[in-house]
């Protein structure tokens, strides 16, 4: 990269950092006592998780009858939340895999937290289909394996089984990708730790010493996992959309669902990453590593995918009208003007209209606007899943079977409990591992740090003694890595 371009490029690391400061800023929070903000957030998360566990136990004891699901709207709240959480989990792999393959350096500030978010979101999503069976201790019937029960096999023609395979594969690859990136940073924590902590981190870092061969294998494995993950980003939510698209129910039987679900998943996933990043940078004082440049880049993705999703909504309406099929037309008329009109208004307002403010660069770079719009987007994407599932099933061919659905306190409790689980796991992760990828940030410091911007900037000269003292096992090898 030429010197002229480096002067124009906006920094991805602010504050005239050197390698030692990066180590202290990013590794330090794992060694200190948690601050009051973290303690309050963790306490609220655990309380919410406890309420969710109580609601689950209530469901297991009394059965699905504790929910307000009825004969007409059988999927209801549970599968709505399942699809919503799967969508949330999409951005982590996208940021990690696709942006890595395209060599987008701005991913380094947010990829670690986004990958962790993917793992925890998929874990939350898995609760819902397992619970929806009514008796989850019989869920092993869903897995195809040789057994002594005779010719009892799952239905391989069912998209629900495709879900199981796609999501379990996605979870496995995402977990490997996340842990692979963690290993160098866990080794840094190990080298600074003492006693039992040192032994735990030594086990978790798997003998990493930062040799050139270790870095070489790390890069090869990261690229291989990125190559495997990239088609998974597209396939997982495509297969989730097949739950609906392969049916013959008006409002579901449409070929636009796969691309529209993928765009919606990226849309909602990036919005959740923004929510987490704004909170994390404030809670751990990471403004120098999660910069307004990172925030703006992600807001651009939200704007693009939000416009794509909004276009899909309008195309759906046009196709229903143009089809001339009275039942399809009624399904969409019912969505817009039926008893669930409020959810359709919420969907269009939050998903189509709200992100359009990001056409303004000033708003794209404003932290408060970013936080509020990210919340609106996640609310809107929940409304979208509710509109697709509840409003389509509420009124079918027989007016005598029409019904209205509203979740019971048990269903709401399970949903809130998944938030408790998600934030509990995320907050624990932020305490035991660097929430920003330390090794990757160091690798881009000299090219993308602000000490090289402009003729009036004061370069911060790095002393080899400081680097070796702070991070012996990474210093020389990061130069090789870079």
Q: How far apart are CA 380 and CA 432, in angstroms?
A: 33
Considering only the C-alpha atoms of the chain, give the largest distance between any 2 of them, rounded to a whole number of Å. Answer: 80
What pLDDT is attached to residue 448?
66
Count other Cβ atoms within 10 Å, centred on residue 224: 13
Does the pLDDT at position 128 exceed 60?
yes
The phi and psi torsions of 213 (rounded to 5 degrees) equal -65, -35
For residue range 96-125, what is the model confidence (pLDDT) as tens digits?
A: 788 788 777 787 778 888 889 999 999 999
For residue range 224-250, what is the model confidence (pLDDT) as tens digits?
A: 988 888 888 888 889 989 988 888 888
For residue range 396-417, what is the model confidence (pLDDT) as tens digits?
A: 888 888 888 888 999 999 999 9
What pLDDT is attached to residue 285?
80
Task: Using pLDDT thresholds of 50, 70 and 90, give the confidence band for residue 25.
Answer: confident
What pLDDT is attached to residue 415?
94
The encoded tokens of residue 216 equal: 């070489």
Share of the chain above pLDDT 70, in %: 89
Q: How far apart are CA 88 and CA 122, in angstroms?
A: 8
Report CA-CA distances (Å) from 297 to 50, 228, 271, 311.
Answer: 37, 24, 12, 22
Task: Using pLDDT thresholds of 50, 70 and 90, give the confidence band for residue 476.
Answer: very low
Indicate the pTM of the whole model: 0.85
Does the pLDDT at position 216 exceed 70?
yes
Q: Which CATH class is domain 3-136+156-481?
A: mainly alpha
The encoded tokens of residue 316 equal: 């759906």
Q: What is the mean pLDDT of the chain?
A: 83
The encoded tokens of residue 249 equal: 């129910």
Q: How far apart are CA 447 and CA 6, in angstroms?
A: 7
Mean pLDDT, rounded, for 16-27: 80
């Amino acid at each position: 990269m030429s010197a002229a371009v480096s002067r124009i490029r906006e920094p991805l690391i602010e504050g005239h950092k050197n390698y030692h400061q990066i180590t202290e800023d990013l590794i330090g929070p794992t060694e200190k006592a948690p601050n009051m903000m973290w303690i309050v957030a963790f306490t609220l998360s655990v309380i919410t998780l406890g309420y969710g566990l109580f609601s689950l136990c209530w469901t297991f004891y009394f059965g699905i009858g504790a929910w307000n699901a009825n004969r007409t709207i059988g999927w209801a709240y549970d599968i709505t939340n399942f699809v919503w959480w799967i969508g949330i989990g999409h951005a982590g792999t996208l940021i990690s895999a696709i942006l890595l393959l395209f060599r987008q350096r701005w991913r380094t500030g947010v990829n670690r937290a986004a990958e962790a978010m993917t793992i925890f979101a998929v874990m939350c999503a898995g609760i819902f289909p397992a619970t929806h069976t009514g008796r989850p201790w019989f869920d092993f019937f869903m897995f195809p394996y040789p057994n002594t029960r005779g010719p009892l096999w799952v239905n391989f023609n069912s998209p629900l089984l495709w879900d199981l395979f796609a999501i379990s594969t996605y979870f496995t690859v995402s977990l490997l990708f996340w842990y692979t990136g963690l290993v160098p940073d866990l080794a840094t924590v190990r080298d600074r730790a003492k006693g039992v902590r040192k032994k735990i981190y030594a086990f978790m870092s798997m003998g990493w010493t930062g040799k050139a061969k270790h870095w070489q294998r790390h890069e090869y494995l990261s690229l291989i996992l990125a190559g495997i993950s990239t088609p998974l980003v597209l396939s997982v939510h495509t297969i989730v959309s097949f739950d609906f698209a392969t049916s013959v129910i008006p409002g579901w039987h449409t070929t636009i669902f796969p691309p529209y679900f993928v765009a919606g998943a990226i849309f909602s996933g990036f919005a959740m990453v923004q929510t987490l990043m704004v909170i994390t940078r404030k809670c751990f004082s990471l403004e120098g590593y999660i910069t307004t440049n990172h925030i703006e880049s992600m807001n651009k993705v939200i704007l693009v995918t939000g416009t794509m999703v909004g276009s899909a909504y309008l195309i759906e309406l046009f196709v229903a009208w143009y089809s001339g099929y009275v039942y399809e037309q009624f399904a969409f008329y019912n969505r817009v003007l039926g008893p669930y009109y409020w959810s359709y208004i919420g969907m269009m307002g939050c998903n189509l209209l709200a992100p359009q403010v990001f056409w303004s660069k000033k708003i794209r770079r404003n932290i408060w606007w970013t936080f509020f719009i990210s919340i609106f987007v996640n609310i809107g994407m929940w409304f979208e899943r509710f509109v697709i599932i509840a409003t389509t099933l509420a009124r079918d061919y027989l007016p005598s079977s029409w019904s209205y659905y509203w979740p019971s306190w048990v269903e709401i409790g399970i949903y809130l409990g998944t938030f408790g689980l998600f934030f509990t796991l995320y907050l624990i992760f932020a305490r035991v591992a660097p929430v920003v990828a330390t090794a990757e940030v160091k690798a881009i410091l000299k090219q993308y740090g602000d000490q090289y911007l402009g003729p009036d900037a004061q370069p911060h000269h790095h002393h080899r003694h400081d680097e070796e003292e702070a991070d012996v096992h990474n210093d020389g090898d990061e130069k090789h890595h870079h």
